[in-house]
Structure formats: C-alpha cells, structure tokens
Amino acid sequence: MTATTPRQYRYYDFFMAAYVCIVLCANLIGAAKMSTVHLPLVGDTTFMSGVLFFPISYLFGDILTEVYGYARDRRVVWAGFAALAFASLMSTVIIALPAAAWWTREQDALVIVFGNTPRIALGSITAFWCGSFVNSYVMARMKVWSNGKHLWTRIIGSTLCGELVDSTLFYTIAFYGLWPNARLFEVTLTQYLLKSGWEIVATPLTYRVVGFLKRAEQEDYYDRDTDFTPFSVRT
C-alpha cells in the first residue's frame, strides 16, 4: 500500500449503508405517525414514532467517530444527507403527479403518509445535518481531551449536544407559529429526553461494538490534526 492509497476497512462501508438506511426509515416512516403512551410517574406522553429508531443514527455516529475519526464520519453524514434530500424530493414529485381516476383513495393515503409539508422536510434535513455534525465534533474533541479514556462520557456528552441541536431545530423550523409555544416546548423537550435517554441506555452495546471494530480494523483514530469543517467529504 503506497502513501497515496487510502486505507481500506472491512466494516466501514457496511456501517455507512446501515446508517443511510436508518436515517431514511426514521425520517420517512417514523414521521408518519404520532403516538401517545402512558409512562409511570409521567403520564401520557406524545411523540413521533421515529424517535424510537432515529437515535440509532447517533449511536452509529459515535461508533464511526470513535473508531474511524471525524472525517470518515463526516463522509457518512453527507451520504445520509444526500439520501434524505433525494427521498424528500422524490416524495414531493410523486405526490404532485396527477393520480389516475381510480387511484383517489390510494392518493389520499399516500399524501397522509409521505406528504410532508416543505417546513417539515426542511426541518428534518436541517436538523439531521446540524445535529449529526455537532455529535461527531463533540465526540472527536472529547476523545482528544480525555486521551481516549472514559468512552461513556463521550457517548453521553456528544449525544446530549447533538440531540439538543437536532430536536430544537426540527420542531422550531417545522412547527413554530403553528403550535402554541408551550406545546412546542413540551414536545421538543419530550423528544430530546426520549432520544437522549434511548442512547444512554444503549451505551453498553456501543462499548461492545466499538471494542469489536477497534480489534477487527486495527484502528483507534484520534482527531488531533483534523480539519473540522463540515463542508467536505475528504477523508
């Protein structure tokens, strides 16, 4: 392998594909339904169903940054962003096309499931992009500051920062002015706590995956000289 040949990894492409799949499913399928469940000591809690699965993308972001570094996770985030943007464009075009005369009921169902308003689509894409990069940046910086110790602090710390940006941007862009401010704050806070709590609970799993990948890939990257601009796909 020459100095100009990029290093090849066994599992990196697999994680990229899985990451893009999760982002698409969480945003397209998860956003199609609002759920209400009764939680002990809390009461009835309303949330978008995608909150159960979207945090997996942050778990992947933590793993990718910890093992492969910020630049390679940045490349994965851009792949997810491009896929999500194309899916939003595709759903808009398909819904806008004239429906066949016998397709009326199906068209109405399609609009309900995939007919996100431009504000929701913009909020989803913007929140994902910003939140993912904040998560990766904090993860990479904390690894250098801690000299690679105490992985759990990086997992939780980066998640709390990334999910805060994601939840705040999405609900503000998508629903500000449409919902009462008190309702907007309540839902945003609920989503933030649920998504952050989900990933905190998954920390032991993150430890196992990170440990496996570091051994299998013989890689444990430190972003000491990394250019942290998000506007690049170079590794």
Domain boundaries, the chain: 12-217
Taking the C-alpha atoms of residue 158 and residue 124, their distance in angstroms, rounded to an integer, is 19
Rounded Cα distance, 164 and 127, in Å: 10
Residue 154, judged by CB atoms within 10 A of its CB (0-12, 13-18, 19+), counts as buried
Cα separation, 177 vs 52, whole angstroms: 26
pLDDT at residue number 2:
46
- Round to whole Å and give the CA distance between 235 and 233: 6
Buried b (16+ CB within 10 A) or exposed e, 31-64: beeeeeeeeeeeeeeebbebbebbbbbbbbbbbb
Q: What is the mean pLDDT of each run of 10 residues along the chain (235 residues)?
A: 70 96 85 76 75 88 97 96 92 90 88 78 92 97 96 96 95 90 90 89 95 97 96 89
Q: What's the confidence (pLDDT) of residue 32?
A: 65
Q: What's the pLDDT at 38? A: 80
Tokens 């894409």, residue located: 125
Cα gap 12→14, rounded to integer Å? 5
| pTM reported for the whole predicted model | 0.90
pLDDT of residue 30: 73
**Amino acid at site 150:** H
CA distance 46 to 187: 7
Q: Which residues on neighbouring strands pair with residue 179, listed in sequence order? A: 176
pLDDT of residue 205: 95
Strands 34-39 and 43-48: antiparallel
Q: Which CATH number fits domain 12-217: 1.10.12, 1.10.3130, 1.10.1760, 3.40.50?
A: 1.10.1760
Pairwise CA distance, residues 181 & 176, whole Å: 7
| pLDDT at res. 41 | 73
